[in-house]
Structure 1
């Protein structure tokens, strides 16, 4: 069952999403060669708690950490460890926070130093496919419209779209209806209505769309061991249109990047 949110609930969810956004912005300054994912995980947990929230992933389905940290060929659900990041790596960081009874949940794939041109292009296409999908999340459209937009954009450029893992509704539970696949057919699936909130999160591979799971029961990686990228936003339907609750602007501020990519999804520009 899809749980519709009031305007007041959406504003509470925005607070949760922005804690995640600020956490990712903090981590953006720290992602560099020689740093361990376990160190980043501890920073994130402290920051989330210091801001009056609870780490959303820690203990969820028995996950052992605050962050899902997935380098290179790992798609999602990587467990933080003490192995240092290396020049040329990429690292997908997925973060959740619970505040005022509502979850925020989004993700960003970071470059560690200078990465290979084909990897950089994968990240660019995956992030743009996220916005292609968000544009279709509006009243009257359906789940398949979002999935088709993401799949079409990425497959036309030769990338693999992961099938087994999907986006999802978001609210008082981390995972609510509807499931939001990154593939699909236009006009199929559940219809979008005012007040829906979802996490849209393309997981796109440089090679095959096929995946494997490690024996730890969590880590998902590409079957051909080629890199994978993951970007995720929390989005609400407000006045019939998609409105971002999360933002990458804290990341961009930390990295000295200027971007207007989110402006079309906000009634009022976000003040940092």
Structure 2
């Protein structure tokens, strides 16, 4: 784990994973992604201030087929400045990747804007999703994305994190090169009238300032099967700050799916 953590801090993937794979285009965008393992499939979706490497310490601890893409406009995916990088567009690309890989109905885990994309998939394309493990989608104040990109990222990772924030002295250069400010500005609550019928675990990082308390209002009206767990001492960047919480929740979701299919 020490080696993986060091690679993550440097903004790199573990050396055995090599260069990313690339999907077929959807709306002209190809997604770069990493894939490892065998068994039940899990798709990991990063937030607006990161990329697929945020998930490194989670991915290497999961049992199953693990797919971690860069979203449209980010990292090594296609980055057209005039292209559509909205939440619905991101969901179309992720759905296309799931179909292309023929990995069946998957557990989708997401944090930040990746959680909003996961919810979009679950409500618009539920046949592709067997379970969700997400954090509450963010409410990003406009002032948080003002200024030079490097300063925006440094502020976000410093101010929105708990005490286990990654060392930015080695991570920041990577983030600046991989980011798209459009994704940082997104705030995406669940649409009015949308109901998520997929089994869902919501991990609530209690130090995340981007969580809307109103997100939890009448939660049972918007999710038919939902569990909420608080994460004390954890901020916005859950896959980096507290990987075991996500690994445990994802494994529980996979085991729950097996139990439902066996009954």
TM-score by length of 1: 0.28
Q: Which has the higher strand share?
A: 1
Q: Which has the higher helix share?
A: 2
